[in-house]
Each structure stands twice: as C-alpha cells, then as structure tokens.
Amino acid sequence: MSVAIGLTRPPAVRTLSVGDPGDLVAALPDAAPSAWIRHGEGLVGWGVAASTAVPPGPDRFTWAKKWLAEVLGDADVDDDLRVPGSGPVAFGSFTFDPDEPGSVLIVPKVVLARRDGRAWMTTVDAAPTGEAVPTVEPGWVRYGDGSLSAPEWEHAVARAVQAIRSGRLEKAVLARDLMVTAENPIDARPLLARLAQRYPECYTFSVGGLLGATPELLVRRTGEAVESLVLAGTAARGGDADDDLARGAALFASAKDRHEHACAVSSVRQALTPLCADLRVPDAPELLVLPNVQHLASRVTGRLGNGASVLDVVEAMHPTAAVGGTPTATALEVIRELEGMDRAGYAGPVGWIDSRGDGEWGIALRCGLINGNRVRLFAGCGIMGDSEPSAELAEAQAKLRAMQYALEG
C-alpha cells in the first residue's frame, strides 16, 4: 500500500545549505528515524512525507522505481546544491528473499545531511521540525533463541557442508537469528549513536525498523561512477596485538576463506559487467579490521555505460555470493531448506536514492529488526566444504556482538 501523507501536488521540495549540524544522530527528534551514516557523514531523516510497502515478487525493483517516479517525478524542487543526497530522497530496505513481504520505501519530511565539508537540510512541503521526543534507553535486555537453537544451527551447518561436499553447490551462506526482549520500547537513536561511534568504518543505518551497522557497501552511484566493497572471509579479533596480527595473517592465508572471497568477487563482477563500460576488480583482497571481526575485502569500481540508477545496479547485484552462495539458485534452495526462517531485511539491500538516481546501498548485516520492545538480531556465515560447525557458530556469535553492544551500551 502506498501512503502520501499530506503531500501537495506537486510536492514542494526545498534544499538549503546549513551550518555544520554536529552529531547527526544527536539532531534527530524522532525515535524511529531514517539514517545512513559513516565517519559522521551521511543523511538522517524524520517524519514521513510518503511511504510504501513494496509488493513482493520478481518485479519489486521495477515497481519501486515506478512508485518513486510517481511520488517525486513532478516535485517542485528548489535545490541549488545538486549533490548526491540533496533534493528529494527516499530511504529503502528490501527483503533478502524477493518473495517475502517487508520491503519499504520512505520519503522523510525532513532530511539533514553532511558530506565533504558541506551540510544541508531538505524539507518536503515546508515540513515543520516538530517537538523532539525524549530519548529512551532500552533498559534491561533478555536474550532467547530465534528460529534455531545453537545446536540446531550447528546441525544445519553440517548439512550444508554435506551438500557442498556432494557437489550440489560450492558455497552457502547460513544466517542465525536471536530474539531480544527489552524493558522499554526500543528508541533507535541511542542504538544508532553507539553503533556510529564504535563502528565508524561501517554504514550505520535505520530504515523502517531495520537498524544496524554494515561493513559491506553493495553499491555507491555518483553520476556514472559506481563502487562496491566486497566482504567475504571472516576472523574474530584477537585477545592482544600479537594474537590479532596472527589471526589476520591466518585469515589472509586461509585457502577456504580466499576461495569464499573469490566466489563473492566473481558474483559482483558478473552482475556489474553488463552495466559498466569500464570495470576494475583488484587481483587480491585486503584486510578490513573492525572492532569485533576482520574481513577479506575487495573494492570494485566502474563506470556505468547506460545511465542506470542506483536501484538498477542494486537489482542486478542482489543477492551476491557474499550473502547467498554459489551458484545462486542452488544456494537459495539450500538456505530455504536449512535456515528454517524468513530473513526479513537481513542480508537484503538497504540505503537511499535521490531523484537523480544517485545513492548508496549496503547489505543489511550486523542488524536487528525492531518491533516495540522486541528486537530480532541476525548474523550469517559463509559455509564451504571444509567449514567446522563450531567455528561457524563462534563467528556468528562474534558478528552478533555489534548489535548486543548497541542494545546494552
């Protein structure tokens, strides 16, 4: 269902330069904001000028682009900046499985942004800022099993390993969920603040109740230029500096993790090649070190050759092997057989798009889905033929710590 709350026809959109707003999260007056922040820069939004639940199905991205064109296409836009993220902006989250409901697009009434030394505010129909809602901490939190207990999930990993060794597929990514009950209804703002501060290298996001800090940039489009950061292959951080270096070196030398990473890079190359006139893929990964884990990372860059919007690129790339597996169709079959759950927005595309088709979209990792005082946390691991179930469980638990930290402070 599409909702346009109080929009005039055509809607009046105004973007004005503003002074440095400081901490973007601290400026949020709303307990359920939209956000996309990295290193203190990005966009935050509040209020809802228009929103829609994107119908599930294979044509959901086409439907989403049509909806955006209908809502924003005839807008009266006053935007002298004309930089990525100025003018009308929609935040979005798409479910991992195209056949599952839960994908959303939200056009905030107010967007506050800062990038490259410039800051601006965009309003839709001269939206008032309204009174700020006081920030509320979650209070105590209680954890419980999600769709599978830890032993059940290890058994699912073992079955995936058997499927890979039998030759059915090369790689499968299995996700695990964890249920959290908090004392108070969850206010996104303190969680966003903690994630943005502790994980500045990640993209801290909030869209329609899905909140997290993902290290994986699915795609950034700025004009014809596109960029993607591929992550696959993970190790926990060490207990001290020497242990940390040893774990990173072992990850970099691991044949299993290098093969897993190569599968992910190959899927991105295959998706981007038809869209790009020029594509540059590094020969070898680098090591990305985060506070809780280390990843093998490859930054892929290119130049679009057909004027595709960022959503066109998202559609072509999702799901990558980093969150699905190889080959994709078989991996999705195995995921449905073994996970025993709907991933919702976990491992799906999340980000923003402006009226010029520019935008940034990540893969929704290290995240939780908020519903009142309950949060469903997610983590996933790439399973290969030599994966050990106990080691994969430990990796999933390490990845869950990001959201546990956000909730507990």
Confidence of residue 9 (pLDDT cuts 50, 70, 90): confident
Kindly tell me the burial class for residue 274, based on how many C-beta atoms sit within 10 Å of its own C-beta (0-12, 13-18, 19 or more): exposed
Give pLDDT tens digits for 18-70. 999 999 999 999 999 999 999 999 999 999 999 999 999 999 999 999 999 99
Is the predicted pLDDT of residue 2 greater than 80, yes or no?
A: no
pLDDT digits (tens, 9 = 90+) for 201-257: 999 999 999 999 999 999 999 999 999 999 888 998 998 999 999 999 999 999 989
How many Å apart are CA 176 and CA 323, to the nearest integer?
12
For residue 259, how many other CB atoms are within 10 A of its CB? 18
77-127: per-residue pLDDT in tens? 999 999 999 999 999 999 999 999 999 999 999 999 999 999 999 999 987
According to DSSP, the β-strands at 171-182 and 374-383 are antiparallel
pLDDT tens digits, 342-375: 999 999 999 999 999 999 999 999 999 999 999 9
Q: How confident is the model at residue 305 (pLDDT cuts 50, 70, 90)?
A: confident
**Predicted local confidence at residue 17, as pLDDT:** 97
Q: How many degrees, rounded to 5, is the angle at CA 132 between CA 80 and CA 140? A: 125
- CA 218/CA 364 separation, integer angstroms: 9
Q: What is the pLDDT of residues 250-289, one digit of tens each?
A: 999 999 899 989 988 998 999 999 999 899 999 999 999 9
Query: What positions carry a catalytic annotation?
Result: 171, 216
> How far apart, in Å, are the Cα atoms of 129 and each of 45, 187, 383?
11, 18, 47
CATH superfamily of 2-133+142-408: Anthranilate synthase (3.60.120.10)
pTM of the model: 0.94
State the pLDDT at residue 322. 85
